[in-house]
Homo-oligomer: A and B are copies of this chain.
Amino acid sequence: MKLINTIKETKDIINQAKNENKTIGLVPTMGALHTGHISLIEKAKGMCDFIVVSDFVNPSQFAVGEDFDKYPRTIDEDFKKCEAAGANLLFAPSANEIYSKGYSSWIEVQGIASLLEGEFRPTHFKGVTTICGKLFNITSPKYAFFGQKDFQQVSVVKKMVIDLNMPLEIISCPIIRDTDGIALSSRNKYLSEETRIRALHISKAIFKAKIMAQEKNPVNKILKMTFEEIKEGFPEKIDYVSIVDCDTLLPTESTHNAVLLIAAYFGGVRLIDNTLL
């Protein structure tokens, strides 16, 4: 496997793979790879012959005061994990390589990007859609693989791809959880042992909500349980607990085609989680 830092070299290598009729798969990441990311690579291997993993902590999707500076960077370990998982190329550009002097072009999805995460992180998805659009143009994959853990992100990127006629398909892959139930996230590294135990009330709520939906409980009852369960972990703040339609991301009264979405702070760490109902 190769570690490449420049756009030009990445394009050259991918063009060569395309000339050999290989199907390109892209796994976009911000590094600090965990088993969730590896599951994306594994999924990609089943559908593609040439797997590109991008490893870039994208400054434009962090607002001032968010955790851009302290976001974990573990490029050496990431390389080993990608190689072991069978990826073909690790693309790890610098910020200057991606956003050169005078950079000024942005891709923005309105509507679904302004809800939920968009309310609390108003510039976040503009950064996400722009970097994804750039990575898609650089690597020209047939498929790009995203984790369902960032449910709204997947929805927003899918919307961009359809609206802008981008020539690829977005593949959403299941959330991977640790043995204690917590959804895997690079940000879990920030959690102390004590905080992590408190944060587990999020996944507990997720599991209970799933069962309550199967048992045909109404949406308001599931929401009430979820709030109460999370509050037992004493979060500093709950940004949202919402049951929304999977397509519109608007609040729904029905559990049909619905997803429960949660964002809350534990020990200063903003965690998100979700489950289809």
Contacts and interface: CB of A to CB of B under 8 A. Distances in A.
Interface of A: 7, 11, 102-112, 129-130, 133-134, 137-138, 140, 159-160, 163-167
21 contacts: A7-B165, A11-B167, A102-B111, A103-B163, A104-B111, A104-B112, A104-B159, A104-B163, A105-B129, A105-B160, A105-B163, A106-B107, A106-B108, A107-B107, A107-B164, A108-B108, A130-B164, A137-B164, A137-B165, A137-B167, A138-B165
Number of identical protomers: 2
A228 to B, nearest CB: 35
A109 B165 CA distance: 19
A259 to B, nearest CB: 19
Contacts of A130: 164
A166 to B, nearest CB: 5
Nearest to A126: B108
B107 A165 contact: no
Given A105-B109, A107-B107, 7 more contacts: A104-B163, A105-B129, A107-B164, A137-B165, A137-B166, A138-B165, A140-B167
A72 to B, nearest CB: 26
A100 to B, nearest CB: 8
A27 to B, nearest CB: 18
Contacts of A140: 167
B108 A105 contact: yes
A129 B133 CA distance: 14
A109 B108 CA distance: 11
Contacts of A111: 102, 104
Contacts of A160: 105
Nearest to A160: B105
Contacts of A106: 107-108, 110
Residue from A108, A137, A165, A166 whose CB has the most chain B CB atoms within 10 Å? A165
Contacts of A107: 105-108, 133, 164
A131 to B, nearest CB: 10
